[in-house]
Chain A
Amino acid sequence: MFFEWLHPVLIATALALAVIGAVRRANLWRAGQPDQVNLIAGLKAMPKRYLHDLHDVVERDKYMSKTHAATGGGFVLSALLIILVHMLDIDSKILAWALLASSALMFVGAIFVFKRRLNPPSRISKGPWMRLPKSLLAFAGSFFILTLPAAGVLPEGFLLQAGNVLLTVVLTALIIWGMGEMFFGMSWGGPMKHAFAGALHLAFHRRQERFGGGRSTGLKPVDLSVVQEFNPGTSEQQVLGVSKPKDFKWNQLLGFDACVQCGRCEAMCPAFAAGQPLNPKKLIQDMVIGLAGGDDSKYAGSPYPGKEVGNAKGGPEQVITEGLVSAETLWSCTTCRACVEECPMMIEHVDAIVDMRRFLTMEKGDTPNKGAEILDNIIATDNPNGYSPASRTNWAADQNLPLMRDVQQAEVLFWVSDGAFDMRSQRILRSFVKLLKAANVDFAVLGDEELDSGDVARRLGDDAAFQNLAKRNLETLSKYKFSKIVTTDPHAYHCLRNEYQDLGSDALNGVDVLHHTTYLNELVKQGKLKLDSFNGGTVTYHDPCYLGRYNGEYEAPRELLRSLGIQVAEMERSGFRSRCCGGGGGAPITDIPGERRIADMRMEDVNSTGAELVAVGCQQCTAMLEGVVEPRPEVKDIAEILAGQLIEEVH
Chain B
Amino acid sequence: MPLNIVSLVSVGRHPQSGRERRAEQDGRAVELGMNLEASQSASMTVLHAGRSVEPVLRNYAGMGLPSLEVLELSEQDDAVPSLAQYLKASDADIVLTGVRAESGESSGMVPYLLAEELGWPLVPRIADIVSINNGVAEILLALPRGQRRSLSVPLPFVASVDNAAPAPRQSAYGPGMRASIDASQVTAVTDSAREQWQEAPAKPRPKRLKVVKAKTAADRFKAATAKPQGKAGKVMKNESAQEQAQEIFNLLLEEKVIK
Contact = CB atoms under 8 A, between A and B. Distances in A.
B43 interface: no
Contacts of A149: none
Contact of A380 (B17, B170, B178): B17
Contacts of B14: 380-381, 386
A364 interface: yes
B249 interface: no
B170 A366 contact: yes
B21 A227 contact: no
A74 B176 CA distance: 57
B17 A365 contact: no
A376 B16 CA distance: 13
Contacts of B64: 365
Interface in B51-70: 62-64
A239 B169 CA distance: 20
Count chain A CB atoms within 10 A of each CB in B62, B172, B177 and give the residue with the most.
Answer: B172
A78 to B, nearest CB: 52
Overall SS of chain A's interface: helix
B204 to A, nearest CB: 14
Contact of A362 (B21, B63, B172): B172
Count chain A CB atoms within 10 A of each CB in B14, B21, B62 and give the residue with the most.
Answer: B14
A365 B16 contact: no
B17 A367 contact: no
Contacts of B86: none
B62 to A, nearest CB: 6
Contacts of A228: 177-178
A350 B63 CA distance: 28
Nearest to B16: A388
Nearest to A360: B172
A321 B175 CA distance: 18
Given A365-B62, A365-B63, A240 B17 contact: no
A364 B17 contact: no
Given A365-B64, A365-B169, A380 B174 contact: no
Contacts of B177: 224, 227-228
Given A227-B178, A380-B21, A387 B172 contact: no
Interface string B1-29: 00000000000001011010100000000
Count chain A CB atoms within 10 A of each CB in B16, B169, B174, B175 and give the residue with the most.
Answer: B174
B172 A361 contact: yes
Given A227-B178, A228-B177, A365-B62, A381 B19 contact: yes
A237 B174 CA distance: 11
Contacts of B172: 361-366
Interface string A208-237: 000000000000000010011000000001
Count chain B CB atoms within 10 A of each CB in A224, A380, A464 and give the residue with the most.
Answer: A380
B173 A376 contact: no
A237 B178 contact: yes
A573 B21 CA distance: 45
A382 B62 contact: no
A224 B17 CA distance: 25
Contacts of A382: 17
B178 A376 contact: no
Contacts of B175: 363, 365
A371 B16 CA distance: 19
A237 B63 CA distance: 18
Given A228-B178, A365-B171, A365-B175, A388 B62 contact: no
A389 interface: yes
A367 B178 contact: no
Nearest to B13: A380
Interface string A372-389: 100110011110001111
Given A381-B16, A387-B16, A363 B174 contact: yes
Interface string A70-103: 0000000000000000000000000000000000
B170 A240 contact: no
Contacts of A375: 170
A378 to B, nearest CB: 11
A455 interface: no
B1 to A, nearest CB: 31
A578 B170 CA distance: 35
B177 to A, nearest CB: 4
B222 to A, nearest CB: 31
A389 B16 contact: yes
A468 B16 CA distance: 19
A462 interface: yes
Interface in A333-366: 361-366
A218 to B, nearest CB: 21
Count chain A CB atoms within 10 A of each CB in B64, B173, B175 and give the residue with the most.
Answer: B173
Contacts of A364: 172
Contacts of A371: 170
A447 to B, nearest CB: 16
B16 A240 contact: no
B170 A365 contact: yes
Interface string B149-172: 000000000000000000001111
Interface string B164-204: 00000111111101100000000000000000000000000
A375 B173 CA distance: 11
A376 B21 contact: yes
B173 A240 contact: yes
A264 B183 CA distance: 57
Contacts of B169: 365, 372
Contacts of A389: 16-17
A362 B173 contact: yes
A277 B132 CA distance: 41
Contacts of A363: 172-175
Nearest to B63: A365
A462 B16 contact: no
Nearest to A367: B170
Contacts of A362: 172-174
A315 B170 CA distance: 28
B174 A227 contact: yes
A400 to B, nearest CB: 26
A525 to B, nearest CB: 42
A427 B258 CA distance: 59
B17 A388 contact: yes
B179 to A, nearest CB: 10
A240 to B, nearest CB: 5
Interface string A299-314: 0000000000000000
A412 B173 CA distance: 36
A36 B63 CA distance: 35
B58 to A, nearest CB: 11
Nearest to A386: B16
A372 B170 contact: yes
A361 B19 CA distance: 22
Contact of B174 (A240, A372, A376, A386): A240
Nearest to B27: A376
A238 to B, nearest CB: 9
Contacts of B178: 227-228, 237
Contacts of A366: 170, 172
Contacts of A240: 173-174
A239 B175 CA distance: 9
8 contacts: A227-B177, A228-B178, A362-B174, A363-B173, A365-B64, A365-B171, A366-B170, A382-B17
Given A372-B170, A380-B21, 5 more contacts: A228-B178, A237-B178, A366-B170, A375-B170, A380-B17
- Rank and list the top 7 A-B pairs by shortest CB-CB distance, nearest first: A365-B172, A372-B170, A365-B170, A388-B16, A380-B14, A363-B174, A362-B173
